[in-house]
Amino acid sequence: MTIGRHPATRFRRTRKSDAMRRLVSENTLSTGDLIWPVFVMDGTDQSVPVTSMPGVERLTVDRVVRAAEEAAGLGIPAICLFPYTDPSLKTELCEEAWNPDNLSNLATRAIKTAVPEIAVMADVALDPYNANGHDGIVRNGEIVNDETVEALVRMALAQAEAGADILGPSDMMDGRIGAMRAGLEEAGHVNVAILSYAAKYASAFYGPFRDAVGASGALKGDKKTYQMDPANGDEALRLVERDLTEGADMVMVKPGMPYLDICRRVKDAFGAPTFAYQVSGEYAMLKGAAERGWLDGPRVMEESLLAFKRAGCDGILTYFAPEMARTLRARGA
């Protein structure tokens, strides 16, 4: 590529006004790019703040329905459910995960009844139901893969029966996408999409999320035997290729901002619908700094989300979703 010399080339010509900047903008952010993660808890007409995530609350099912109505009104296409399970329901074998009437499935049915046009995404992992706090079943200190996959298929089928539009396997067990896709096809749920957490790293950025779902205190050890090493990039491409081959419709990189290079590599390599999760720690550090006046909150929110689009993402799971959607609506975007 040959770049002309100054003064023939003046890059500032296309920056001189808002109109000119908009004309040459390479990426845009819209409400259609957003998925809103929401935490569900037991009870009626209640909410409880998540102290490590300013502005985020656990909501009872009726309030989750209201959140879904708000999201639909703002043009947000999907809401993602994460349950805060009563500790008394957490077991070694995680049976509550496939209970048709667990919190996630109750919320899914309630949302699809009240707001059928919004897509409901359900998380597929055992940690909210596991007495050990892990995403898989633990045997003699080992997170066992194949037994966990069998449990995850049961969980996925229960979610599909409840009306989930998108399943989000976040467990990182080997072979789970193929097993889920086969189970869904056999059960007649041929149109349920799988958004695979294909490249999910063993990250320190998940801490506030584990507080939100009540998994922090239960977790024994760490998740490094099944989540990815943050040092690895090529492995992410191999995992994405495997999950697409096994039947994933969309893939995700998690966390988001520290792994924008992975987002770009995945999109360039496969061209598949690619998402990133701006996780709880990312949200908390931006929101916390803004509350203290150290950062311009609205600007860093938008800048951080636009970075995902520039990195090739088709969409972002973010706790900023309603705030960003309101900003875009006020702007007429």
HSE-CB for 120 with a 13 A CA cutoff: 28
CA dist list (Å): 165 to 30, 36, 193, 301: 21, 14, 6, 28
Q: Where are the alpha helices (DSSP H) in 10-137?
A: 18-23, 61-74, 103-114
Partner residues linked to 274 by β-bridges: 251
In contact, 33 and 75? CB cutoff 8 Å: no
200 counts as catalytic: yes
φ and ψ of 139, to 5 deg: -125, 115
Nearest by Cα to 180 from 101, 123, 114 = 123
Q: Where are the alpha helices (DSSP H) in 91-225?
A: 103-114, 145-162, 176-186, 207-212
What is the DSSP pairing of strand 57-60 with strand 47-49? antiparallel
From the candidates 200, 223, 267, 287, give the one annotated as an active-site residue: 200
From the candidates 90, 223, 254, 309, give the one annotated as an active-site residue: 254
Nearest by Cα to 260 from 313, 324, 197 = 313
Nearest by Cα to 311 from 321, 303, 322, 301 = 303
Q: Using alpha carbons only, give the angle 174, 250, 101 rounded to the nearest 5 degrees.
A: 75
Q: Is 321 exposed, middle or buried (0-12, 13-18, 19+ CB in 10 A)?
A: buried
223 counts as catalytic: no
Active centre residues (catalytic): 200, 254
